[in-house]
Every structure is written in structure tokens, then in C-alpha cells.
A and B are shown apart, each in its own frame.
Chain A
Amino acid sequence: MPDELATYAENTWCPGCGNFAILNAMKNVVGKLGERGVAKDRVVMTAGIGCHAKLFDYLALSGFYSLHGRSMATAQGIKLANPDLKVVGFCGDGDAFAEGIAHMMYAAKRNSDITIVVHDNGVYALTTGQRGPTSAHGFKGPSTPRGNTEDPFNPLVLMLEAGATFVARGYVVMVKELADLIVAGVMHEGFSFIQVLQPSVTFTNRYEEYNRTVERLEEPASTFDEALALARETDRLPAGIFYQIEKPANERALYGDWNPVANHPTRTERLAKVKALIK
């Protein structure tokens, strides 16, 4: 069967890169969403800038290849304009927790109904291996030759504290589970955050370590505090849905059943409204 989600773009990821698994997972996600009544034409994507973002060129989905650190802002704008669309934003750890951290915190805070997939390789891969916001203390890279002097962020804790209503972690080796997580995130009404442990074979080859420490998390924590405690674990790394609650999504809270694109007025309708207003 021809892969109708493939494109002709030349793939330039390093062999063995964790990004391949995320791309494959996404292809499954599109099919699985279709089974749930979300047709492919309603799924759109955004991407930041980095190795992760090349996924945009390799996946035949509509969307917007945005700027470094702005993928989640672009995604929120698409959703705001047409809430009938399901928007998946791909980000690197640098995108999400350095350049675009304010957008992440606010997307979670306002519970914008988008799904953000962070390819967390703990490094700025595309720009040749500098330390990123989730790099360990002591990480050596071309900009920190004597080692990173900063401690890393814990993305799950940040997103929980900021108010994300769906918080999950996936691992590229667990592709089927990863696809299920993304599907669950897309189906969740509200802000869905998925951290994906994505080793960069070139800069942060942590497959062995992850294969040892990643453990399947069977079900979400029943309380926020429990979820926080799970998120803080470092000896073992649970993978699965940490936390999920229901809360009105921002777009609906802002304008209910309105849809700015679908409800775009005719000129006559709009001019009548303007006239009525200045009367």
C-alpha cells in the first residue's frame, strides 16, 4: 500500500534518530483518529525549528512550519480561528522550554485546545549540540565546554503547575504506545502536553539508559499531587498519561459555539453590524 502520508522530501535525520519513531507514530495517529471520526483533513500540524521540526516536511498533513519557539503560538492561532480543526504542534525542547517557554506556560494556563508534542532530546541538535533547557547539569557542548552550569527544567512538572489538563510522557522505542498517547491527547478537549523522550544518536544517545529506566504507566494519577510526585521521579521514568482532567477549553470559554472562519460574514451582514454599532 502506498504511504499516502509520505512526501518526496529527502529525509536528513541521522540513522537511528528517535525522530523516525515519532514520524511513524504520527502516521498511525492519523489512521487512528480517522477511526474516531476525525478525518485527516481536520488534522493540521505546526512545527518549530530544529531537527524535530523536519517532520513537517516528511508528513503529508496540512499546517504551518513556524519559527523557533513559536510552534505552539501558531497552533493556538489556528485553533482560535477554526476550532473544528485538531491541531498538533511539534516542538523541540529548545523550542518549548527556552525560546517559547512563555507560550507553553500560557497555552497550559489558558487550556488552549491543542496538542503539543515535545521531542525532548536534551540538546539543541540542529544547531550542533549546545545545551538546552532539559540538558543535565555538567552537560558538555560547544557553548559549555566546561559543562552546563544550570540545572535542567522538568517539563512535566512545569506543565502540571501551569495548568495543563492532559500531561503525558512517551518514549520513541514504545511507538505503539506513543501513537496512543498522541491520539488520546488530540481527543482530549483542552491543552495536551506530551513529552517524548527522543534520544539524539549524535548528541544524546540515551537509548540504553532509557531502556533501563522507562516504565509503562498503566493509568493516570488520581490526584494532582500524585501526578506531580510521579513527574518528579528520576530513578525510573514512567511513560503514559500522568494526569488528565476536564476543564473548559479556552476557545470555547472565549466564544462558545462561534467559529471565526465558518461564521465569516458577508459584506452586507458586516456593514449592517458596523452601522448598528455607531448609531
Chain B
Amino acid sequence: MSRDRFTFIVGGKAGEGIKKAGSSAANFFASMGRHVFQMDDYPSLIRGGHNFVAVSTATREITSHFMKADLVVGLDKRSYEAHRDHVADGGVVVYNSDAVEDGQGIGVAMTSEAQKYPNPGLRVGVSGAAALSAVIGLSVDEMSAFITKEYKRDLENNIPFATDIYRAVGEKAGGKFPLDKGDRERIMMTGNQAIALGAAAAGLDVYLAYPMTPATTVLHYLAAHDRELGVVTMQPESELAVINMALGAAAAGARTAVGTSGGGFALMEEAISLAGMAEVPILTILSARSGPSTGVPTYTEQGDLRFALSPGHGEFARTLASPGTVREAYTLAAELLELAWRFQSPAVLLTEKHLSESRMTLDLDIEDAAWAEPLMHEGGGYKRYLDTEDGVSPLLFPPSDELIQWTSYEHDELGVTTEDAAAIALMHDKRQRKSEAVTDHLRTMRTVNRFGQGDTIIFTYGSTTMSVLEALRVGGIDATVVQPVYLEPFPVWELEEYRDSNAIVVEQSAAGQFESLLAEKARIDAGARIRRYDGRPFEPEELAREIERAAG
């Protein structure tokens, strides 16, 4: 039974190598030239609990995992119980018979098999690769090559263990789902990796962050590759330190970015306002999780949109955009760093756990990245806040014979504190003109993506875009998907034609923040809405049914 789309779900306790089992499978599918989407679902803990990874693959483009799996591998009782209903028609469930009595499917004594080898706790996870190899019809040699490539270490134990599991599964379901090769091998990365690389491609010099899921892996990735890239990374004592150090670094001339989630961004707000007043270029990566407050740290939500639209007190130019795919995360991170420097103002890349931490195959053109290059002052007579037509004053960095004064106070052109009425109004006007210049510039850029054709109009943004696109594919639904990439300034000039479109608005928010933004800014009143806010990303088949229902 050959099917093009294939989904593999592997679940177990944290610490059992579930992520590894999932990413190994994803890598294997990608090595076959197939498209892959990998979603990690894990609780906020280090050991125990229930983790699972869902990996979906196809020979065509795929932008979501599915929750109906052709192969479910449960390493413990809880994952068997959680996922036995997630098996697709005709699919296979492999469960750990040491943990589950009279389960349905293929019981394999994974724990007792593992106990024949050293470190049994670490070994069970290899069952995922072994069961998968059996089900897709790899030979023992092919499976060994797969395990060697992915696990690298302890192969003298891993391969015999995997072979035991492979045989046990193979007896019942060997070769049940042979997979076709795809057209060519693609690279695979998470959204956070793409963001890190995009910022690097735009010229990033310094990255600062305080750990906070789901933004943390941007820091991890850049820290792991700092010397290779030439990017300095550091983890200061708090988000307050992060953003204030970052503004200092940027004022000294370093292309600088910071990353956090909602709670950390809330702490940064005073300094975002400072960046507005002092006109400091700064890129912030804001990766949202289920909130409010500490919320559900490792789960996804789009509940921070309103917050991200207007961070910091006072009036100044803010730029906010959100990528819809991992590939767009790369280009957008570069573009936003460039915009931050072009307009010397804070730019925020808003994303969600679902994009930050999901991993997918992509065609990435590294050259497709903006380069952050500021307008520099030449000659003498420097004024940090020179009043210019578009409100953008040229930059200069120390060491210099000129006086360069950045300031949080209202100031004159030189940067000296002022309380003079005319001077205050002058600087407000300058900042306002800069806000207008940002909007004018966005008008020359691609700020809204449109996908597909069809009378049904669907509005969505951020990582939910991926879910919607996959739902349309799997449901065979004709619709036009409109995804504003830029959210502030909001590209209303692109959206006029949708005023009376009766659009369906799809978002991961309980309050419908995106829907209300569309109404407020673009006067687009939704005809129907689909919202999910249980921390889980949309499931494409379910979403397809909801879209069909909403489209009527």
C-alpha cells in the first residue's frame, strides 16, 4: 500500500530520546528527497511527562504535521494511550509491551530488549528508527546505515538493539508503507535557525538573550556557531540587561539583535521606548507561547499580537512583521534588521512556538537576504539628531572627533536635553516624519502574501499560514489566502479589495486579535472565524473541515 503522504508519531517520556527519534526520521525522509514537516510537542520539564514528535512527509510541498499517523510508536503507556487514536486508517501502532498490557497493534518488549544492553533508558528511543525502518521496508543494512548516520555513537549496541525491534515489527508490518523517493534533497531547519541565519546574513554582529522558550534556541544556535559566523553572543542577567546592553552595542555601531518571549518582552518595553527616543536600531525576536503570564511555556499561541504592535510608551516609529514559513523567517529576519538600521528604530519579528521550533525542508537562497547598512555622516559638524526631510539623521560611531550624543531625554539636534516648547514639537515632527517614511518605504516592498485562487478569502498570519496552506492542500479546497507579513505599519493599501470579501479569519487566539486588527485598520469585517487556543497548532485535516464549514 503506497501512499504519498506519510506521518510518523513517536511518543514517550522526556529523556528517552523522543526528539532524537523524531528528528532522525525527519532527516531520513529529507535524505530521500522528500518534503518534511516536523512538530515537537513537549512539556516544560526535563524528565518524565509526555513528549511526542509528529513528522509528516510527502513528495510534494508540505507545511504542517498531521495528527493521523501511519505509524505510531509509543515508548511508554502514556504515549500509547495518548496516540492510539491518532492512527490513520490502515496505520500501524507499535507499543512497548513491557509497559502496556493487552494493547492493540504490535507489542514489542522494548524495555526488556533494551535491558540486554548498557544504558537501557537511553536506548529505547532507537526503537522509533527501527520500527520506522521496518514499516517502510528498509533492509537491515539500510536501517544500520540510517542509525549509524543519525546516532553516530554506541553503534555496537544501538544496531543490534534496533535489529531486534526491526525484526519484531517486520514480522507483522514489514514493508507495509514503502515510500517513493522525492525529487531532490533539501536542507531542513527550524524557524529559529532560519531567524538566526537571516539576521546573520543581514550583518548581525551581536546577539543577546536571556533564556525563554520558545526563543531560546536562537541563542543556542548562534552561540554554537558564533566563531563560524563572526557573531558575538552573550546571556546577560535579565531581559532588562539584554535590551539595554543591546542598545549600547547598537549605538557603538554593532548590528545587534535580542530574542525573548512575551514575559521577557514586557520587561524590555521601557528600553524599546528608549530606542524610539534615542533612535537606536534594534531587532527583537519575539516568539510567543501560550499566555498570559508564564502560561504554557512550550505550547503555541498568537495571543501577543496586540502587545507586539505597540511596545513601549510614547509615540515613535515601530515596525512589526511575522513570517509565515521557515523560509520567510530567514528573509524577514534579514529584512527587519535592515529596516531597523535604515530607520534607526526598533523592529520586532513576531513569531510563535509553532514556527520557532518546528522543522521543515526548504529551498533557501542564502543571497535572498537584505543587508543592514546605515546612512553614515561624513565630514564635520555632526548632529546626532539632525532634522532631515524624512526624519532619518545620519549615523556616526566613536571613536570620532565629533560629539555623538544619544539620549533618552527630549533633545535638540545635538542631543542636548531640552524642555523648550518649540524644540519638543520639532523633534516630535521629526519622529513623525520618520514614521511616515517607514510606511512609504513599506509601500515599495512586498508586505502581504497571497496564495491560491478561489472566491473564498481566508485571512491568516504568522505560523498559522502554514496550517492553512496545508489544510487547503489536503482538503482540495480552492481559496485565496491573504497573509499580511507586516503588521505595523499595517499594509492597508494592499487590502482595500478585500473590504467586502466576507473573509474567514484563521488565528490562534481566543480573543480574535487579528480579526479585530483587520476590522480596525483595514475595515475588513470577517464573515467567519476559526480560532484555536489550546496551545496546539491546527491540524490540517480538522482545519480543512472547519474551513469547508465556514465557507458554507
Contact = CB atoms under 8 A, between A and B. Distances in A.
Interface of A: 7-9, 39, 41-42, 44, 46, 49, 54, 56-57, 60-67, 70, 73-82, 84-85, 102-103, 105-106, 254-255, 258, 260-261, 263-265, 267, 270-271, 273-278
B241 A260 contact: no
Interface string B161-194: 0000000000000000000000000010100000
A26 to B, nearest CB: 15
Contact of B398 (A65, A85, A258, A267): A85
A53 to B, nearest CB: 9
Given A67-B271, A274-B197, A76 B367 contact: no
A62 B228 contact: no
A42 B401 CA distance: 9
Contact of B249 (A62, A78, A103): A78
| Closest 4 A/B residue pairs (Cβ) | A77-B248, A77-B245, A73-B244, A81-B254
B253 A80 contact: no
Contact of B405 (A56, A84, A277): A56
B256 interface: yes
B99 interface: no
B398 A260 contact: no
A57 B405 CA distance: 9
A63 B406 contact: yes
B366 A41 contact: no
Nearest to A265: B230
B251 interface: yes
Interface in B383-426: 397-409, 415-417
Nearest to B397: A261
Interface in B110-155: none
A97 to B, nearest CB: 15
B205 interface: yes
A254 B248 contact: no
Interface in B349-408: 364, 366-367, 369, 371, 397-408
In this complex, the member of B208, B247, B252 whose beta carbon has the largest number of chain A beta carbons within 10 angstroms is B252
Given A44-B398, A77-B244, A106-B241, A270 B407 contact: no
B252 A78 contact: yes
A67 B408 contact: yes
B403 A42 contact: no
B270 interface: yes
Contacts of A84: 399
B228 A277 contact: yes
B117 to A, nearest CB: 34
A276 B228 CA distance: 9
B200 interface: yes
22 contacts: A8-B416, A41-B400, A42-B398, A60-B403, A64-B405, A66-B274, A67-B271, A70-B240, A73-B248, A75-B248, A77-B248, A80-B206, A80-B234, A81-B256, A103-B237, A105-B237, A260-B206, A260-B232, A264-B254, A265-B230, A276-B228, A278-B187
Contacts of B408: 49, 65-67
A82 B398 contact: yes
Nearest to B280: A64
A270 B398 contact: no
Contact of A41 (B399, B405, B407): B399
Contacts of B240: 70, 73, 102-103
Given A67-B408, A278-B189, A260 B205 contact: yes
B494 to A, nearest CB: 29
Contacts of A275: 366
Contacts of B369: 271
In this complex, the member of B271, B398, B404 whose beta carbon has the largest number of chain A beta carbons within 10 angstroms is B398
A73 B197 contact: no
A27 to B, nearest CB: 15
Nearest to B396: A62
B276 to A, nearest CB: 12
Nearest to B417: A57
Given A62-B405, A66-B408, A82-B254, A255 B246 contact: no
Nearest to A276: B228
Nearest to A250: B234
A66 B366 contact: no
Contact of B417 (A9, A271, A278): A9
Contacts of B201: 270-271, 274
Nearest to B254: A81
Interface string B230-273: 10101011101100111111111111100000000000001100
B277 to A, nearest CB: 10
Contacts of B238: 102
Contacts of B232: 80, 254-255, 258, 260
A184 B230 CA distance: 33
B341 to A, nearest CB: 12
Contact of B366 (A60, A67, A75, A278): A278
